[in-house]
Amino acid sequence: MKCFRANSTINSKHIFYKYEAYENLIGEPRLELKVVTLNINESHNNELMEQCQILREYAQYVARVRKYTKEMEFLRKNKSEVIAMSIFEYDKEEEEKKLRKAEFEAGEESKAKEIIGLMLSAGEPVEKIAQYTGYTIEEIQKS
């Protein structure tokens, strides 16, 4: 006996015939079993998925389970590294300090550019603006 094979394929639909499972079929079969299988994985058989919401949601569920299973396998495989990283490398307070510093610097830069714009619109010379702001003439001219 051999594995079933698809006799025909139409839009992710496979038709299997039982008689094809036998290597040495003698004569014509008296009773035939025809099995139609449909691919219900996400992004297959869209027409069917549009007609059956439950089937579509099931396909989405299975896709997510597969995705998260792969992620969990990675975490299990690298368990000691993940634990070490979470314990030894992550410092919440340090990360918050870095975030606050970056936000402060972004705010300062934004304010400086606003002041440069106001000075330019007031007719101040670029050299004078560079002297007061610490920006180069080229940087001011780009603003």
| pLDDT value for 10 | 42
pLDDT, one tens digit per residue, over 83-117 is 777 666 667 788 889 889 999 999 988 888 898 88
Is the pLDDT confidence value at 19 over 70? no
pTM of the full structure:
0.36
Strands 13-17 and 34-38: antiparallel
